[in-house]
Amino acid sequence: MNKGRFEAFNDAIIAIIVTLLVLEIKRPDSYTFTALAANWRSYGVYIVTFLQIMAVWYNHHNLLQYATHFNHRFYWANVFWLLMLSSAPFATSWLSDYPNQWQPETFYVGVWFLWSIAYTIAEVTLLHLNPRITLIDHYERWIYVVMGLTVLVTRFIPFAGIISVSFLTLWLILRPIKYELKAENS
């Protein structure tokens, strides 16, 4: 598998996902700023999701930076990752339409929870194929605990989901996942 084509394929799909995300933003019902402000929750969810996708793309780029070996297994792990990521516009739209309901909130968090699992599967697969690549800044797997608990909590406190994803997004922006090549004799 050609690395350049693989990266271009991922970049194209992420660009489409971001385009779909912005197309789901509802237009105000009138021309006034009051009508614009009435949709503030939709804009907030859009911004969180957009930033999450940008952080995700950046970390995926870091993961691929030193990789030289790809195989069928990694391709399908990456496809699973893209599937979860491509669900973000739908989850964002549903949550924007029903911001105070637990079902859309739980689904939104669930999409990001599954995305986290998909990223880890792709990461582990790629690192196994490229043993010279190592994590230099080990990000904790506590994200699974936070996301799992958030899925449960959103049943009772719907707004907890977007708050949790917002903080996790901020964490990914401030502490991106970093990789490096091990020395030749390691």
> pLDDT band at residue 134, thresholds of 50, 70 and 90?
confident
Nearest to 150 by CA among 168, 174, 171: 168
Q: How many CB atoms lie within 10 A of CB 131?
A: 10
Cα–chain-centroid distance for residue 172? 10
Residue 137 has pLDDT above 80, yes or no: no
Burial of 85 (0-12, 13-18, 19+ CB in 10 A): buried
Q: How many CB atoms lie within 10 A of CB 25?
A: 14
Taking a C-beta distance cutoff of 8 angstroms, is the pair 54, 21 a contact? no
pLDDT for 18-44, tens place per residue? 999 999 888 888 999 999 998 888 899
Cα–chain-centroid distance for residue 96? 17
**What is the C-alpha to C-alpha distance for residues 185 and 183, in angstroms, rounded to an integer?**
6
Residue 11 has pLDDT above 90, yes or no: yes
Top pLDDT among 1 and 150 is at 150
3-state secondary structure of 179: strand
What is the reported pTM?
0.89
H-only helix segments in the chain: 3-23, 33-37, 40-64, 72-86, 88-97, 102-129, 142-153, 160-174
Q: Provide the pLDDT for residue 179.
A: 86
Which of 34-38, 51-55, 158-162, 178-182 has the weakest average pLDDT?
A: 178-182
Question: Which positions ≥6 away from 176 have C-beta within 8 Å?
Answer: 55, 58, 59, 62
Taking a C-beta distance cutoff of 8 angstroms, is the pair 100, 154 a contact? no
Taking a C-beta distance cutoff of 8 angstroms, is the pair 172, 56 a contact? yes
Q: Which two tokens stand for residue 38?
A: 């009435």
Q: Which two tokens stand for residue 145?
A: 């605990």
pLDDT for 46-97, tens place per residue? 999 999 999 999 999 999 999 999 999 999 999 999 999 999 999 999 999 9
**What is the C-alpha to C-alpha distance for residues 46 and 165, in angstroms, rounded to an integer?**
12
